[in-house]
A and B are shown apart, each in its own frame.
Chain A
Amino acid sequence: DAGVTQSPTHLIKTRGQQVTLRCSPKSGHDTVSWYQQALGQGPQFIFQYYEEEERQRGNFPDRFSGHQFPNYSSELNVNALLLGDSALYLCASSRTGNQPQHFGDGTRLSIL
């Protein structure tokens, strides 16, 4: 039973570019959340997707957007990349109904 899988593992971009990160939830999970984890910090909630709609959003600018597909997989898009966007981006999935969240191993994004 595969857990949460994220791709790519690492990514290097330059300022101003756009990036798309991908997440496949754990089997049986229908809710996906995205977090940003800066080096040496705890994860910060970006947003949650359920039934292909954004349901909850953290304190992140509109440059951060997402999508959920009918198979529950999800994408995180970041436009106009800034140096400060360098971080580990984590995807977490769960079943609806306040079930525990399971995290993937993240995508390490570096902005030059």
Chain B
Amino acid sequence: QQQVKQSPQSLIVQKGGIPIINCAYENTAFDYFPWYQQFPGKGPALLIAIRPDVSEKKEGRFTISFNKSAKQFSLHIMDSQPGDSATYFCAAKEETSGSRLTFGEGTQLTVNP
């Protein structure tokens, strides 16, 4: 059962654009929502994470928007750069039940110069 659905599968933007990646979850027990960035040949690296007590969190050029009632959250990348070209994964976890992260399918982002 797919518990975190991510879209789009791929995304192409121009330098300076604001790509938006969306995720929806089913399990209402999820209470921790991280985003990971993965470059080819590398493991996922944590970018930013949010908990459901806030609706938005910013860290540098990365912003998470969270809608608890809709069970959706999204990643916005401000002033995107070619170096941001990577695969992005959303994930979700129940904080009280161990380490298990449930990942979305991933979004391959390309930022053209």
Interface residues of A (CB under 8 A from B): 4, 31, 33, 35, 40-45, 48, 55-56, 58, 90, 92, 94, 98, 100-106
Contacts and interface: CB of A to CB of B under 8 A. Distances in A.
14 contacts: A33-B99, A35-B101, A40-B106, A56-B98, A92-B43, A94-B99, A100-B46, A100-B49, A101-B46, A103-B43, A103-B44, A104-B43, A105-B41, A105-B43
Interface of B: 4, 6, 32, 34, 36, 41-46, 49, 89, 91, 95, 97-106
Contacts of B6: 42
B101 to A, nearest CB: 6
Given A98-B95, A105-B41, A45 B46 contact: no
Contacts, number: 60
A98 B45 CA distance: 17
Nearest to A59: B1
A42 B43 contact: no
A55 B42 CA distance: 27
Nearest to B51: A98
A48 B100 contact: yes
B99 A43 contact: no
Given A31-B99, A33-B100, 17 more contacts: A33-B99, A41-B106, A42-B4, A42-B6, A42-B103, A42-B105, A43-B44, A45-B100, A45-B102, A56-B99, A98-B95, A100-B46, A101-B46, A101-B101, A103-B36, A103-B43, A103-B44
A46 to B, nearest CB: 10
A42 B100 contact: no
Nearest to A55: B98
Tell which of A44, A45, A92, A94 has the most Cβ of chain B within 10 Å. Answer: A45
A43 B46 contact: no
